[in-house]
Amino acid sequence: MNREDEIIESRDNPQPPAQKPWYKRIGLGGAVTVLLALLKWKSILSFLKGIFLVVKFSKFGVTTLSMLATIGVYAWFYGFQWAAGFILLIAIHEYGHMFAAKRQNIAVTAPVFIPFLGAMIGIKEPPKDAATESIIALGGPLFGFAATACVHAAAYGLQSPLLFSLAFTGYFLTLFNLIPASPLDGGRIAGAVSPYIWFLGIPLIVILIWVSFSPILILVLFGAVHRAWEFWKHRNDPYYDTAAGFRLQIGIAYLSLLVLSGVLTYEAHITAEALRPRL
């Protein structure tokens, strides 16, 4: 190979430039940044300790920490704005349960948020009957639906794809929770009408698992089968004796919320897709 061929080959296969040592790559700006970070480290630690103490001695400390952690997890995948809005909708849903429980003179704990599982409140004493349980269960979807409707209205006013996406998610969350299988809210509501409805909800969960496998659905299925089996063993328990008038009222409320959530879930989805920017 002559010299001319070597020159042509070197042009076709350029060698990557040699990197400078790390201490030279940092530069003056990097050195100043590191110095400022070291000088402010104690201030940062003091600030974090202050937040920790406030949260530690707060009545809602666990709620605050779990909420912030869950927002952080969702923000990593979907962005902060969507994550904050979604967790706020879940919080309103849970506080709906708390409001309904307190109206029934049942003490509850503040909600705890779990990434990709939602949130839950703790009931310090079991409901006295299925009617009381259904009222507490209805409070969550009712509050969540109302909050989502506000987001939906704001989405129309601002023509915001983000808000339409949140509205769709909120309606879908309500719709999912209304599946008539305990431990979902829909199952607890339907239990006041007739626990036999649970045997319609369980196959629906199986279909959802078949269509879209999810570990959450597996957990829900196990809980639903267990609750249905316990009911079947104690199907003459007076816990499920509910007045006919109350059954009619809670049944109408349940079906109305179910239909509205289904229709608006579809509508919000169609609108969000229409507003989504196309590449």
Q: Give the chain's residues under pLDDT 70.
A: 1-61, 277-279
Task: Report how far residue 161's alpha carbon sits from residue 13's, in angstroms, rounded to the nearest whole number.
Answer: 47
Per-residue confidence (pLDDT) for residue 168, from 0 to 100: 93
CA 85 to chain centre: 10
Per-residue confidence (pLDDT) for residue 172, from 0 to 100: 93
| Residue 191: count of CB within 10 angstroms of its CB | 26
Burial of 5 (0-12, 13-18, 19+ CB in 10 A): exposed
Per-residue confidence (pLDDT) for residue 255, from 0 to 100: 95
Per-residue confidence (pLDDT) for residue 1, from 0 to 100: 52
Determine if the pTM surpasses 0.85: no
The string of pLDDT tens digits covering residues 58-79 is 455 677 788 888 888 888 888 8
Q: Give the CA distances from residue 69 to residues 55, 64, 66, 83, 84, in Å, rounded to whole numbers and listed in that order.
A: 13, 9, 5, 11, 11
